[in-house]
Amino acid sequence: MTLDEITALLQRGVDHAPLKGSLKFDCGDDGVVVLEDKTANNTDRAADCTIKITLPNMAKLVKGKLNPMTGVMTGKLKVSGDARIAMKLGELLKS
């Protein structure tokens, strides 16, 4: 799954459940996905909350094969900034 495909899936999520605040998925050299309000894009910028994750794990996350809490506990994703925004990830992924 490419970063563009992941961005498109997350766009559908914010279309149904707009995000209050901004959330950035930092996939290192593979790029970023930034969610804010009703938009998902790949423009790198500061965000209220950042999740560091590899692109393969990001694909698992959006497909529902990686639980966000399990990802944090196993070190597959690292959260920095306002963790309350990261807690809304489940709502986005259900959409």
Identify which of 61, 9, 15 has the alpha carbon closest to the alpha carbon of residue 38: 15
Rounded-to-integer distance, Cα 69 and Cα 32, Å: 20
- What pLDDT is attached to residue 92? 76
- What pLDDT is attached to residue 88? 84
pLDDT in tens, 37-93: 999 999 999 999 999 999 999 999 999 999 888 999 999 999 999 989 988 887 777
- What pLDDT is attached to residue 18? 87
The structure tokens 């459940």 sit at 17
Paired residues of 34 in beta bridges: 24, 41
Q: What domains can you pick out in the chain, each with its CATH number?
A: 3-94 (3.30.1050.10)
